[in-house]
Amino acid sequence: MNSLILIFILLALTGFSYFYGKQRAIKLSGGVVSTRSFNSLPKQFGLLTALCCGLPALVLLLLWAIFEPVIIKSLVVSTLPQDIQQLNSEQLGLYFNDVYIIAESVISNCSDSDAIKCKAASYYTELSANASVYKAAFIIAAVMFAVSVLVRRFHSTFKARHYAERTIKTIFLICSIVAVLTTLGIVGSVLFESLRFFSAVSPSDFLFGSKWSPQIAMHAEQVASSGAFGAVPLFTGTLLITCIAMLIAAPIGLMTAIYLSQYASDRVRGVAKPMLEILAGVPTVVYGFFAALTVAPIIRSLGESIGLSVASESALAAGLVMGIMIIPFVSSLSDDAINAVPKTLKEGSLAMGATESETIKKVLLPAALPGIMGAMLLAVSRAIGETMIVVMAAGLAANLTANPLQAVTTVTVQIVTLLTGDQEFDSPKTLAAFALGLMLFVSTLVLNIIALKVTRKYREQYE
């Protein structure tokens, strides 16, 4: 709550700075009318003053938030007895965690056995309380100093507008760099943890091993404590479900696009398109629920009625529902590709006496093929990366099978199961999730790049 009050104070200060800067500029010019002789308008002086107050405050707040815990921790640790300071970083971390818990608990019930911890905890509480006071005082003083320095420099030739606009432009640039930083963050985090994983498990075992049982590594005292991290069953499971999904989505999505763009009347299109968009807007967790509780039992009872044994969590159910989810995606992208084909090609073909379906099959589709291929590749990458449907409907058993009636597991399912719940980040079990994430990221990225290249190349042909 304290930091919230500070933020409000800073916001108020920023607002105040605007009027202060504006008034100072007006005063300097000797009244509103003679601002003509100034380089900038009073409100631009105000804007610059407000920026000069708000920006440093924001930066300082962020820096403080990042460095405060580190500094407080090192201060607390430095007061601990020598033998505890000698502990390795991991044990020290555990020790400090206890201190933190004692400090955070409302009722401080310290027994005599951990008097040192209690002392450290009270020191920690004291430091935290002091830190928030220091923070508020320091940041408010800093922004007031910055504003006063700026305002002192105001004179008739001061280029307030120029400076203000350059600052805003820099902020805009930084905002657009956030996307790059996100990518770097993804690559960095996934790669870093994956490297730690590959230092424990060899990459060839991971990529070509056919046994996946990461749970064994949980119990270090067991004989078979190494765990098995062969990811081939996950890859085949992912591919199996993706194939089933594409077998549903590709023909139905493409035919939907063809029918709606070539045959359907405006009225049909006006109803069908938004209806299909509903399919695209339904959250995936809803599809997962539908797959697990409606489709899977139907498939199971159907299979049993003709004497097949179907697992209760079958690849078929997950793939089918995923296919339904992707239909609108495929159809809207294919629609774009078909509509991008020049009308003259179609008219020429019809004029030669070809039927509409012949025109579509022999003229439109070949011309739109790169675009449609791109759409299919994007759909595949989406199916590979889809999580909730498979988590809820595909199962956890890492079977190396091509039988769609059996339970399979996928890369995304394993990432979720490895990383939900409490976990420590030094076992291959949790790090394996990041290695899988790396595989997922790289494979979908490659698919997307190929898809974009294919579509772009094709677009250039007609323009």
The verdict on 32 binding another protein (CB under 8 A) reads no
Closest to another protein by CB, 223 vs 278, is 278
Tell which residue, 435, 27, 20, 400, has the closest CA to residue 212.
400
The verdict on 176 binding another protein (CB under 8 A) reads yes
The verdict on 56 binding another protein (CB under 8 A) reads no
The verdict on 312 binding another protein (CB under 8 A) reads no
Question: Within positions 214 to 253, which residues make up the interface with another protein, using CB under 8 A?
Answer: 251-253
Candidates 79, 85, 130, 189: give the one binding another protein (CB under 8 A): 189
Candidates 322, 432, 440, 454: give the one binding another protein (CB under 8 A): 440
Tell which residue, 331, 340, 334, has the closest CA to residue 276.
331
CA quadruple 294, 297, 300, 306: dihedral positive or negative? negative
Residue 430: CB minimum distance to another protein, A: 10
Choose the stretch contacting another protein; rule: CB under 8 A; options: 84-92, 120-128, 254-262, 308-316: 254-262
The verdict on 281 binding another protein (CB under 8 A) reads yes
Give burial (CB, 10 Å; 0-12/13-18/19+) of 390. Answer: buried
DSSP secondary-structure letter at 210? -
The verdict on 106 binding another protein (CB under 8 A) reads no
**Which segments of 285-432 are extended strands (E)?**
none
Question: Within positions 322 to 341, which residues make up the interface with another protein, using CB under 8 A?
Answer: 324, 327-328, 331
Determine contact, residues 234/212, Cβ cutoff 8 Å: yes
| Alpha carbon distance 160, 18 (integer Å) | 12
Choose the stretch contacting another protein; rule: CB under 8 A; options: 132-140, 146-154, 303-311, 419-427: 419-427
| Alpha carbon distance 6, 9 (integer Å) | 5
Residue 212: CB minimum distance to another protein, A: 18
Tell which residue, 94, 69, 85, has the closest CA to residue 424.
94
Choose the stretch contacting another protein; rule: CB under 8 A; options: 50-58, 119-127, 212-220, 260-268: 260-268
SS3 437: helix
The verdict on 258 binding another protein (CB under 8 A) reads yes
Choose the stretch contacting another protein; rule: CB under 8 A; options: 7-15, 113-121, 161-169, 212-220: 161-169
| Alpha carbon distance 127, 133 (integer Å) | 10
Choose the stretch contacting another protein; rule: CB under 8 A; options: 85-93, 136-144, 209-217, 445-453: 445-453
| Alpha carbon distance 46, 329 (integer Å) | 49
Residue 125: CB minimum distance to another protein, A: 18
| Alpha carbon distance 215, 219 (integer Å) | 8
